[in-house]
Amino acid sequence: MYEIVAESAGKKKLKAGDLTRAMTAKYGDSVSRKDCKAAIKQLIDSGRCVYGYYGGSSIELPRTEGAANE
């Protein structure tokens, strides 16, 4: 899941639902929505990913955003 986020960094902002759909596309029914929820939770709580908001919430790599002031 982390790879999917990393690959799309700078291109498309992925939402929780996009990640879940991508995972089921890749692994079929062997991953449930619950599994995906838990995986997102792990990614966020470990700090490897962060939530972003641009007209809707997304899951992204941590970085310094363009709008940030010193």
Partner 1 sequence: MADDLKIPLLEELEKGPWPSFVSDIKSVADKSEMARDLLRQLEKSYEDKRGYWKHGGLVGVLGYGGGVIGRYSALPEEFPGVSHFHTMRVNQPSGWVYTSKALNEIMDLWDEHGSGLTNMHGSTGDLVLLGTRTEELEPMFQALTQKGWDLGGSGSDMRTPSCCIGPARCEWACYDTLDLCYNLTQEYQDELHRPMFNYKFKFKLAGCPNDCVASQARSDMAIVGVWKDEIQIDKDAYAEYIKDGFNVKEYVVDMCPTGCITADENDIEIDDSNCVKCMHCIARMPKALAPGKERGAALCLGAKAPIVEGALIAQVIVPFMKLEPPYEELHDLIERIWEFWDEHGKARERIGEFIERVSLATFLEGIGLEPLPQMVKQPRDNPYVFYEEYYAEEDEGEDA
Residues that bind partner 1 (CB under 8 A): 15-17, 37, 40-41, 44-45, 47, 50-57, 60, 62-63, 65, 67-70
Q: Is 13 helix (H, G, I), strand (E, B) or coil?
A: coil
**Residue 3 beta carbon to partner 1: minimum distance, rounded to whole angstroms:** 20
Please name which of 47, 37, 48 lies closest in space to residue 15, comparing C-alpha atoms.
37
**Residue whose CB is less far from partner 1, 3 or 65:** 65
Minimum Å distance from CB 9 to partner 1?
12
Q: Calculate the dihedral angle through the C-alpha atoms of 15, 16, 17, 21, rounding to the nearest 10 degrees.
A: 100
